[in-house]
Amino acid sequence: MDNRHDNVKLALYERFLKDAGALPPMPGVSLRLRQLQTADAATHEQASALLETCPALADRLKEFASLPLLGHIHPGAQLTDVVRQLDGRRLANLVLAFELRQLYEGSEPSLEKVFNKRWRLSLQRAALSAGLAQHLPHLEAEDALLAGLLQDVGSLPLLKELHQWPQVSRLEVDLQRLCEQLSAELGVLLLTAWKLPGNMQDCARLRRDWCRQHKGPVDLADVVQVASQLLEEPRDDDRLARLPAYQRMELPAPHALRAELAEVVALWMKLLGGRPVETD
């Protein structure tokens, strides 16, 4: 896909921009949980009852409690105990991270192949982002986990929509390039429609702004950029060391950082159901 196909890119973008129905709604349990949390009289028991309506999701949250990711939750904790230990935002972000996979539905092999590759990278980016958050007391691991998943969230509705666009090339290189060209814009449209906060939208918007500079403390976009660079192939630790986001975070040297993150990232990957991140 080259410049001659810019009309396809523009047509796809306009499709999402003009038709709100083209953007998938927030997954059901996540939406209801966030609505419940806005109610003044909402209780931990009500949130737990809602989460119990999705046994797979409830089991994932209990598994989260069983892993040494939050030291103050004991193995075998009840779902209500997990809900009580997490404040509303952290719980909502964790649940949304577990539900994001369902945004994509499709059976066309060429599109499925590209989705699987990008989703696998998103899982690895999310695990690394959650691991990096341990260096930053002002950020929560659950927020960083979701931010890592949302960085490329625009690719999910795009690949689903392409089932209706048989005229678009199915060559993997073309599909990957189209995702790279539209993921940021579509991600911002989707996260805006879901009314997620600006710091989450920024992770999608700034996904390739490697030279980004800003004032104030390290934010989620910085964390996700460092996680993304850790996954870049071929590995270039010199480039990582020059990344402004990496320099703002005052992290160990790249090789030492990978070794330090390996254990906690493996735990997050286990929870997310993805393959381990290669750190050697």
pLDDT tens for residues 221-251? 999 999 999 999 899 999 999 999 999 998 9
Phi, psi of 141 (to 5 degrees): -60, -40
Find the length of the chain: 280
The tens digit of pLDDT for each residue in 121-174 reads 999 999 999 999 988 999 999 999 999 999 999 999 999 999 999 999 999 999
Closest of 275, 276, 262, 272 to residue 61, by C-alpha = 272
Model confidence, pTM: 0.92
Q: What structural domains does the chain harbor? A: 3-272 (1.10.3210.10)
- Is 49 within 8 Å of 43 (Cβ atoms)? no
* CA gap 18, 97 in Å, rounded: 27
Task: Say yes or no to pLDDT of 106 above 90.
Answer: no
| 197 close to 51: Cβ distance less than 8 angstroms | no
Task: Report the distance separating Cα 150 and Cα 153, nearest Å.
Answer: 5
Look at residue 55 and tell me whether its pLDDT is greater than 80. yes
First to last CA, the chain: 34
pLDDT 10s digits, 1-42: 444 567 888 999 999 999 888 899 999 999 999 999 887 767
Residue 64 · residue 130 · CB < 8 Å: no
What is the average per-residue pLDDT within 200-214? 95
Other residues' Cβ atoms within 10 Å of the Cβ of residue 239: 13
Closest listed residue to residue 230, CA positions, set 217, 249, 243, 218: 243
Percent of the chain surpassing pLDDT 70: 92
